[in-house]
Structure 1
Amino acid sequence: MEAPAAAPDRGGDRIGALPDGVLEDILGFLPAQEAVRTSVLARRWRHLWKSAKALRVVGGDGKFLGSVKEIPEFVDYLLLSRGGAPLDTFDLRFGNFGDFGFLGFSNEHFPSLKIWLWYAVTHKARVVRLRLHNNFEGRHALPELGGLRLVSKHLTRLELHGVGVYSSFSDFSSCPALEHLEFNKCEFKLVNKISSDSLKYLSISDSICGFYDSFCTHICAPNLVSLRLDEVYGGTPVLETMPGDGRDYYVLLKGLSEAKKLALFSYPETYIFKRDLRCCPTFSKLKSLLLNNYWSEPDDLHALACILEHSPILEELTLHLFFEVPKNVEEMKGSPDPTELSADISEFLQTVKVKCEVFDEDVHNVLKFLHKLGIRFEQHGVLAEDGPGTT
């Protein structure tokens, strides 16, 4: 008869028994302020935080650093103390410090910002995030990333929030692994081109791209598969069609014509898409299309008709008949009737989804338009002439 297994020892230092490499990974999930505090736990912990794989510094919004003036000194201390230890993630997030009249950060707050960023990429960081509070309404100068060109074979993801970007910084050709790039609440100061051969995902939101419509920032990213432009003020960025000799530039839709999946959301006052539709390209590879109410306004169904006509292999169409997502959404599903499908739309179309807040006259008109193209819906009698509510 075997003796019963001994009960596991529930005492002792379970965390301290872990290898140094595991502890360094764990410390990387803590804000840097807390990671540094572990140095007083025991002799072994004194320097472990200096080799943490991630460096995350947070301040403002009630976080550890209570004063704007503490940030530069603390970050400089961190980087000097770490020495040459490699990084995986470098994450700086500084919110609102609550000072009366504080509109956001400027160069005066972060004189070493470019040095911090340079430190991250030269220490092999794959992910870099800079998120700095700002308020565009204050019209103050943002912390600037100028005179710096990133060179890194390790960087894969870069997220910037609340900084000023110059042309010298927007050339990412020396970052061959970069695939994900985000700009939020940034100001592009005479940036002629955002260029990257490796980039796959690009997002520019709530940002300023020049102050004149005559000046446009060009996007040269031949391997781009996802582009988000949301509330971009000034000149709308223009996609370059690749390959090319660098001299022929095209409007936005032309640059998207090779996409397999598109989500195009816009607001009524935006004119860039309507202008592009005058010379609408053919979306020869497009299989999935998501549009918001901009494309199906009651008096302008031409926009919807045009983009459907120029999508010859489209398989899935989704219409969000609203500009802001409502709390309650009604969804109607439709499918093409092969015997009545219009020659003006894709013969490969399989599903159509229409989402709306309420079934009103505008929605009714869109469904009638789709019905004329040979698309039938499970709900609502769209052929009725007496408007919504008829079944």
Structure 2
Amino acid sequence: MQKNNGDDRISTLPSDILVNILDRLDVREAVRTSILSRRWSQLSCKLSRLIINAQPDGVSSSNISDGDLVRINAAVVEATKSLLTRRYPGEDTISLLSTTFYLRGDAPISIGHAVGSAMMTHKIEEAEFTVLTVKNRLYCTLDDVLNYGTQFVSFFNECLNAFTGLTRLYMENLRFAESDFVSNIFVTCKRLKYLGFLNCDTKKHLTLQVKHAQLSELSMVNCRFYKVELKWLPRLTRTTFTCWMAFEELPLSFGHVPLLEFLNLTNIGLSRNKMVMLSTLLCETHIQELQLGFKCEKIWVQPECLSERLASAFHRLRIVSLVSIPEGSDLTWTIFILEAAPSLEELYMSVCSSYLNPLVPFYMGFSAT
């Protein structure tokens, strides 16, 4: 197993192959190899994929003690600083720098400063922040989300260098006191390809007008904006918009979204909600996959007669998922989708026997012919 000079066979491999192997390991395991020798120590500084996660697999923050959260966040700060400061400026490209951490104490700002400094001295192709809160959505009070929102704004303003270079940003359980702050995210984070909000809103409900040159995926789940107008997103391909509260009209509209392929709309349909006409909503799009979710009380999609506008909106539609249809609903409202979508290949429907019981799904497939 060893050559005459005493080197093991793995260590005799070229450095680029060894770095490729290390990139396939968990970051913690890859860094541990640095104790083997001076050469291995140098190899760990050349990793191209740096994924640093504060959230243990399968563990919710609600199940982590306060002391452990402090310790975990501190470990993320230390790992981020160590992995970035040991690298030689401009020598090796970082293909992915991903950090997941809790919005608590000074840890986010420390991470932001380390990432921002690295962006000035290294080429980083993809940079991601996943910002978690100590409490999950089900346990957050109004004071909690206001406090988290204030902390995030301070973090954002302190670490603009990092945010300007991000390609992916996920945040949760935030309420922003300043109504225009969400717009600032789109303006500042010019490289974003993915942006995800969970349980976020502003203190004063606003109409959010979105323009972004690079964004390809936008997810808004349980967010309470008055209206979201997707004005100009030339690279947007996927949008998820779930759980809105507006009763008079759907708080979502599309402008210039020429590449939009996937749309997920899910809501609890109340008797007060106005029914949505898909031909009006989707008239400027050419989506290929549509998912509609219905959680209780009523179907919120308006059946329509086949029209030129409806045919134009649905002529590329290949996959339709109708999820959580209340038991006993008149399914004739689905006929207009079948009539207007000549390229439909798959139709998935799941029926909910009651709002609290498990779903009973059935599946139907269609060929393009």
TM-score when scaled to structure 2? 0.63
Larger radius of gyration: 1
Taking the aligned partners of 1:159 and 1:121, their CA distance within structure 2 comes to: 16
Which residue pairs with 1:160 in the alignment?
A: 170
Taking the aligned partners of 2:187 and 2:303, their CA distance within structure 1 comes to: 27
Shift of 1:209: 4.2
RMSD: 4.5
Deviation by residue 1:166-205 (Cα, 9 ceiling, x = unmatched):
3222237843xx6x414153625468244333444x2415
1:282 corresponds to 2:327: no
Unaligned regions of 5+ residues in structure 2, if any? 60-67, 175-180, 259-275
Pairing 1:78-157 to 2, within 5 Å after superposition: 78-82=83-87, 84-85=89-90, 86-94=93-101, 105-106=103-104, 108-119=106-117, 122=120, 123-134=122-133, 135-136=136-137, 137-139=139-141, 140=144, 141=148, 144=152, 146-147=156-157, 148=160, 150-151=163-164
TM-score when scaled to structure 1? 0.60
Taking the aligned partners of 1:113 and 1:173, their CA distance within structure 2 comes to: 17
Pairing 1:174-213 to 2, within 5 Å after superposition: 174-175=190-191, 180-183=193-196, 185=198, 187-189=200-202, 192-200=208-216, 202-204=217-219, 206-210=221-225
Unaligned regions of 5+ residues in structure 1, if any? 1-6, 95-103, 245-250, 336-348, 351-391
Q: Give the 3-state SS of the residue equivalent to 2:255 in structure 1.
A: coil
Match of 1:259 among 265, 283, 286: 286
Q: Give the 3-state SS of the residue equivalent to 2:321 in structure 1.
A: strand
Which residue pairs with 1:24 in the alignment?
A: 19
Give the count of matched residue pairs.
304
Residue type matched to 2:41 in 1?
A: R
Pairing 1:1-391 to 2, within 5 Å after superposition: 12-61=7-56, 66-82=71-87, 84-85=89-90, 86-94=93-101, 105-106=103-104, 108-119=106-117, 122=120, 123-134=122-133, 135-136=136-137, 137-139=139-141, 140=144, 141=148, 144=152, 146-147=156-157, 148=160, 150-151=163-164, 158-162=168-172, 164=174, 166-171=182-187, 174-175=190-191, 180-183=193-196, 185=198, 187-189=200-202, 192-200=208-216, 202-204=217-219, 206-210=221-225, 214-216=226-228, 218=230, 220-229=232-241, 231-232=242-243, 238-242=252-256, 253=278, 254=280, 256-257=282-283, 258-269=285-296, 274=301, 281-284=309-312, 285-293=315-323, 298-301=328-331, 303-309=333-339, 311=340, 313-322=342-351, 330-331=362-363, 350=369
Deviation by residue 1:267-305 (Cα, 9 ceiling, x = unmatched):
245989537979995242323141314678644546424
Deviation by residue 1:194-253 (Cα, 9 ceiling, x = unmatched):
4333444x241544243xxx3436463234333233x44556762432289xxxxxx894
Q: Is the 8 A contact 1:187 1:208 kept in 2?
A: yes
Identity %: 19
Shift of 1:110: 1.7
Residue type matched to 1:144 in 2?
A: F
Residue type matched to 1:256 in 2?
A: L
